[in-house]
Amino acid sequence: MSNIHNLGKNNSILNQFMAEIRDVDIHNDRMRFRKNIERIGEIMSYEISKTLNYKTIDVQTPLGVQPVSVPDEEIVLATILRAGLPFHQGFLELFDSAENAFVSASRKYNEAHNAFTIEVEYLSSPSIEGKTLIVIDPMLATGGSMDLAYKALLKRGTPAKIHVACVIASQQGIQAACEIFPAEITTIWAAAIDPYLNDKAYIVPGLGDAGDLAYGEKI
């Protein structure tokens, strides 16, 4: 089974940002919602950085030479559009030399809005062969979008390591991710793991539709 980290179980400032993105009284402030998602990405990327391989380099200062340990992995940040964009930016703030991939995987509802399929419409990615792939999606509900996005990314190679990063996951989504990704190279990170999905496959208690809260409703 993959390693699973639920960062919200520990007391930290992360939980303040989580409280605000869940709060219906704050949901009409899209800029604040996006900023908090970005902050959560920064915190999670810092936690992931502790698990990377490091090498020592010599840095020339004005007064001498200082050995410094720096990450020794090629990182690709892969984000599922559109809701993942502010989360992605948080990761990019810390992993600022990472390569970037983007996948459009979204729900397509029927007219009654009581059933949906998931479609991948767009992929832009460098080679991920032998690299560390961080798959970024704020809401891990059924795992359907994650599954299709990962299959699309595998067209660009086979990664050496995988980190799955989400803001809120359902228990069902966690189980799905454990089945989708190879356990021996995968670590799953969440800021919260919620108990179940409703009949429309939204995470409960969750926060609603992250894409709509960040960027407005879509048709």
> Angle formed by the axes of helices 144-153 and 171-180, to 10°?
20
* Encoded tokens for 114: 């009581």
- State whether residue 190 is helix, strand or coil: strand
pLDDT confidence of residue 121: 74
Mean pLDDT of 29-53: 97
SS (H, E, C) 39-83: HHHHHHHHHHHCCCCEEEEEEECCCCEEEEEEECCCEEEEEEECC
**Domain ranges within the chain, ordered by starting residue:** 3-51+71-215
Mean pLDDT across the chain: 92
pLDDT of the residue at 81: 84
Q: Give me the CATH code for the 3-51+71-215 domain, please.
A: 3.40.50.2020
Task: Name the DSSP class of 183.
Answer: G
Closest CA to 39 of 167, 146, 128, 142: 167
The pTM of this model reads 0.91
Question: What confidence score (pLDDT) does residue 217 get?
Answer: 85
Q: CB under 8 Å to 120, separation ≥6 — which residues? A: 103, 104, 105, 148, 149, 152
Give the model confidence (pLDDT) of 128-141 as tens digits.
999 999 999 999 99
Q: Output the pLDDT for position 159.
A: 98
Lowest mean pLDDT among 38-47, 79-88, 182-191: 79-88
CB crowding 46-62: b at 16 or more within 10 Å, else e:
ebbeeeeeeeeeeeeee
State the average pLDDT over residues 92-107. Answer: 90
